Amino acid sequence: MTDKHSDLTIHAAHELLKAKKISSVELTQDYLARIKAVDPQVRAIVTITAERALEQAKKSRRADCRRQSRAFNRCAVFA
């Protein structure tokens, strides 16, 4: 798995999600891959809840299919 979307700005990710060029699940998987690759060196994240993040992304995708969702329901930001 690659982290090809992990360098996107919030605005760029929003535009791709809105245009349905990526899914919330794909974006979440990319961020989790990036965290897995980088965090052992920087040790910036105390707890990674990958399963929960993916479940929330799936729920967001299902809500979007019902047209009840915004592009970003929740967004964790790491500086």
Classify residue 47: in a domain, yes or no. Answer: yes
Supply the pLDDT for residue 52.
92
Supply the pLDDT for residue 39.
92
HSE-up of 72 (CA within 13 Å, CB side)? 13
What stretches in the chain show pLDDT beneath 50?
1, 68-69, 71, 77-79
Classify residue 4: in a domain, yes or no. Answer: no
Classify residue 77: in a domain, yes or no. Answer: no
Q: What is the pTM of this model?
A: 0.71
Q: Residue 21: count other Cβ atoms within 10 Å of its Cβ.
A: 10
Classify residue 72: in a domain, yes or no. Answer: no
Classify residue 71: in a domain, yes or no. Answer: no
Classify residue 74: in a domain, yes or no. Answer: no
Classify residue 52: in a domain, yes or no. Answer: yes
Determine the structural domain holding residue 39 and report its residue range. 10-65
Supply the pLDDT for residue 41.
95
**Residue whose entry in the numeric block shows the structure tokens 């105390």:** 46
Classify residue 73: in a domain, yes or no. Answer: no
The proportion of the chain whose per-residue pLDDT surpasses 90, expressed as a percent, equals 30
Task: Report the number of distinct structural domains present in the chain.
Answer: 1
